[in-house]
Amino acid sequence: MTWQFELSNSNLRSNVHLLKNSRATNVTPQSHRVTREQRANSLGKYQNFRGCTIWFTGLSGSGKTTISFALEQILCSLGLPAYGLDGDNMRHGICSNLGFSEEDRQENIRRAAEVSKLFADMGAITLASFISPFESDRLMARRIHEDASLPFIECYIDTPLEVCEQRDPKGLYRRARMGKIPDFTGIDSAYEVPTNPELVIHAGEHSLSRCVQKVLQYLYEVGIFPQEALLHLGGGIRELFVTGAELASLRLCLDSLPTLAISRIDLQWLQVLAEGWASPLTGWMTEKQYLQTLHFNQLMDECRINQSVPIVLPLSTEKKERLENASSIALAYDGRIVAVLNDPEFYAHRKEERCCRQFGTCHTGHPTVKMILESGDWLVGGSLKVLERIKWNDGLDKYRLTPMEIRQRLVEMGADAVFAFQLRNPIHNGHALLMNDTKEKLLSLGFKKPVLLLHPLGGWTKEDDVPLAVRIEQHLALLEDKILDPENTLLAIFPSPMLYAGPTEVQWHARARIAAGIHYYIVGRDPAGIQHPDTGDYLYDPSHGSKVLSFAPGMGSVEILPFKVAAYNKTTKRMEYFDQDRKDDFDFISGTRMRQLAKKGEQPPDGFMAPKAWRVLANYYSNLQEKRSC
């Protein structure tokens, strides 16, 4: 029969109860052939089933939809499928034939719960925003999910009526007070406060950011929000510094501990670990973590997160035998204790295998390979307690920002998109072209305040590279001349030593910046590359870094932006993107050639580098030549 479809709008509401009070007959539930786990593996960027419903309940204007839509945006940006199921939207669609009587409200919630159950069963984190004033209706929604073995999280948005009425974003309270909206919750219809919700959010007192963080923290605690995704938000960053009473207690024990002296490069890696760049690592790698890194380029214990380079502490056989029975070891640099290594684990340093796997060569002409082969035959891992922040007192410490400090600066700058540029060389106009074009691209995508994290590497580099202090001065000259926009650029130093491990190392460079809250990472031609010690040709294929990074595992939601090749156009006298069809117009000025020009006191072609920035470089090499001639 088709009679119910021919009813007029005025009669439809009264007859809907005939439909909903009747029960379906001759229907048999059908079982899916795809499990939830299988479905989850085809959704989003993270494995494991995460389907659930977060049921936001509270007065009109309390902030339910605002919070749920903010969560939806964050979850989706991190690669976690989510959907905001809003009460008003439902009443414009599947519930458009329902009013606001107690019976209609119950049916509204039933339909909403069934829809959210289906979304959750699909694997989505469903964010349902409904006033749902009656406890019995919310319990019904919970049972619908529990009967399907799906998590149901009741989140009470506890915003006082006076705050909601003051906000009144839709003008509903004003109309209700005028008697134009009968049965309005909070005015002439009761709201039953949840008796045992999983979450209570005080949206009238706290910022939107804090409200969202509280929900995300709960999702993490119950295993729905993955550790790797939490790292993108700063919640998974593990700083290893000790403070207060713990620090005072630790200092009292230092004299009783055996001491291990560490090198300058070891201290640089200690800084990387202490500030949280390698989170979730809590210290030098254990053998298990080392093998995961060496064979899989990942840490796999708490979550799967990219870790392509070992962070290990080598020591000699003599030192290993002296320390192997200690439960804690004091680590000293230049005679001063900087950290304590707890529960040390010693294991063999198979140096040749490490070099071949990490660098693709065991040639001692490679500077990092040479250092590894000359280092100790043992490695020691364990958790770290770092006594104080690492300072180098070279005038550049103000640029050495931790991941958490960078995140705070980006918030203060109002950044809504962050793109990072890793570099160990001076910046020429080709680099600037790429960074400025990236900013324009992000603006065209709708971002209002994209910010460049200009992040030069600050640890050890090979002898013929330009020193950090000179590079920072050169970068500042570019910002002063507005070659790069100073209002939308954050200059900071990345403390990691350089490895020259090509495509293996570029994964580390990108992954570490996740801790700083980046969304986009610019990768260039031959990143972290070096010349072959014998032939002088590329040791690594120049295109492999960007290719490998585009599909590297455990990189979360960071989007990789491959570097377009820029070269000097001899006709237009400026840096432009290389065009194969006009290849004779272009001149590739390598870093080696650039350094040679500076050493000889010669000028580069007009338009290659900003004059003030070039003078910094030229002055450095001029002074260097004078020192060598003395």
- What are the tens digits of pLDDT across the range 601-624? 889 999 999 999 999 999 999 888
Say whether 105 sits in a helix, a strand or coil: helix
**Same domain for 556 and 436:** yes
Residue 11 belongs to some domain of the structure:
no
CATH number at residue 620: 3.40.50.620
Residue 447 belongs to some domain of the structure:
yes
- pTM (two decimals): 0.76
Question: Does 45 have pLDDT greater than 90?
Answer: no
Say whether 273 sits in a helix, a strand or coil: helix
- What would the pLDDT profile of 155-188 be if each residue is shown by its tens digit? 999 999 999 999 988 899 888 888 898 888 888 8
**Same domain for 107 and 220:** yes
**Same domain for 431 and 371:** no
Beta bridge partners of 494: 457
**Same domain for 410 and 378:** no
Residue 402 belongs to some domain of the structure:
yes
**CB neighbourhood size of 403 (10 A):** 22
Report pLDDT for 117. Answer: 97
pLDDT bin (cut points 50, 70, 90) of residue 591 is: confident
190, 225, 260 — which closes off a domain?
225
**Same domain for 443 and 356:** no
Residue 7 belongs to some domain of the structure:
no
Average pLDDT, the chain: 90
CATH number at residue 345: 3.10.400.10
CATH number at residue 88: 3.40.50.300
pLDDT bin (cut points 50, 70, 90) of residue 1 is: very low
**Same domain for 432 and 364:** no
**Same domain for 416 and 355:** no
Q: For the chain, give the percent of residues with pLDDT over 90.
A: 72
Structural domain count, the chain: 3
Residue 197 belongs to some domain of the structure:
yes
Beta bridge partners of 129: 56, 86
Helices (H), 3-134: 9-21, 36-41, 64-77, 87-91, 102-122
Q: What is the mean pLDDT of residues 217-235?
A: 82
Residue 12 belongs to some domain of the structure:
no
**Same domain for 401 and 376:** no
- What would the pLDDT profile of 459-516 be if each residue is shown by its tens digit? 999 998 999 999 999 999 999 999 999 999 999 999 999 999 999 999 999 999 999 9
112, 85 contact by CB (below 8 A)? yes
Report pLDDT for 4. Answer: 30
Report pLDDT for 192. Answer: 94
Question: Does 16 have pLDDT greater than 80?
Answer: no
**Same domain for 544 and 482:** yes
342, 359, 386 — which closes off a domain?
386
pLDDT top residue among 279 and 29: 279
Question: Does 232 have pLDDT greater than 80?
Answer: no
**Same domain for 365 and 279:** yes
Enclosing domain of residue 285? 244-386
Residue 522 belongs to some domain of the structure:
yes
Residue 4 belongs to some domain of the structure:
no
215, 67 contact by CB (below 8 A)? yes
570 Cβ contact list (under 8 Å, min separation 6): 585, 586, 587, 605
Q: What is the mean pLDDT of residues 516-537?
A: 92
**Same domain for 304 and 208:** no
DSSP characters over 534-599: TT-SBSS-TTHHHHHHHH-TT-TTPEEEEPPPEEEETTTTEEEE--GGGGGGEE---HHHHHHHHH
CA distance 528 to 498: 8
pLDDT top residue among 449 and 592: 449
Closest alpha carbon to 60 in 138, 176, 139, 140: 176
**Same domain for 253 and 206:** no
Q: What is the mean pLDDT of residues 271-277?
A: 98
